[in-house]
Amino acid sequence: MIAENRKYENDSENMHPKPFNKPDRFWRGNLHTHSNRSDGKLEPEEVCHRYKSEGYDFIALTDHFTGIYNYPITDTRSFRDNAFTTIQGAELHSGAMENGELWHILAIGLPLDFSPSNSPTFFR
Ligand SMILES: [Zn+2]
């Protein structure tokens, strides 16, 4: 009976892994956030400051990469320090598709000189 219980416990652990209970280091981050370079409210520096203050290790500032916002990829490198880093990124937009959907796609690790697409807006 004890062996049966152990088997069940192992199965339960396998079905519900608890990665945050492991001794490894985990990084807290956000790969999707906006600033006032598109439809956010705060300056990029303030966005980074607030995430860092809340204990985040990294963020990717992913403003909407559209013509109405002049295709922003904000250079956040100056907001990095030994406890916090940033990854350059943007939220790209497909054109209107045949089924009428418009996709938003996060692009993380973009070069600062990434070429603008032909996405004047994210509204149809
Ligand atoms: Zn977004």
Q: Is residue 57 part of a domain?
A: yes
Q: Residue 66: is its pLDDT beyond 80?
A: yes
Q: Is residue 84 part of a domain?
A: yes
Ligand 1 centre from 81 Cα, in Å? 25
- Predicted local distance difference test score (pLDDT) of residue 1: 46
Q: Dihedral sign, CA of 48, 112, 37, 29?
A: negative
Q: How many domains does the chain have?
A: 1
Ligand 1 centre from 61 Cα, in Å? 10
Ligand 1 centre from 78 Cα, in Å? 22
> Among 4, 58, 9, which Cα is nearest to 31's?
58
- Predicted local distance difference test score (pLDDT) of residue 6: 53
Between these two residues, 51 and 102, which has the higher pLDDT value? 51
Interval 67-79: pLDDT, tens: 999 999 999 999 9
* Radius of gyration of the chain, Cα coordinates, nearest whole angstrom: 20
Interval 115-124: pLDDT, tens: 988 888 776 5
Interval 4-63: pLDDT, tens: 555 555 565 566 667 777 788 889 999 999 999 999 999 999 999 999 999 999 999 999
Question: CB within 5 A of ion ligand 1: which residues?
Answer: 91
Q: Is residue 7 part of a domain?
A: no
Q: Is residue 5 part of a domain?
A: no
Ligand 1 centre from 20 Cα, in Å? 27
Ligand 1 centre from 107 Cα, in Å? 11
Tokens matching residue 123: 């509204």
Owning domain of residue 73: 27-124
Angle at 29 between CA 111 and CA 26, to 5 degrees: 120
Ligand 1 centre from 69 Cα, in Å? 13
- Assign residue 121 the CATH number of its domain: 3.20.20.140
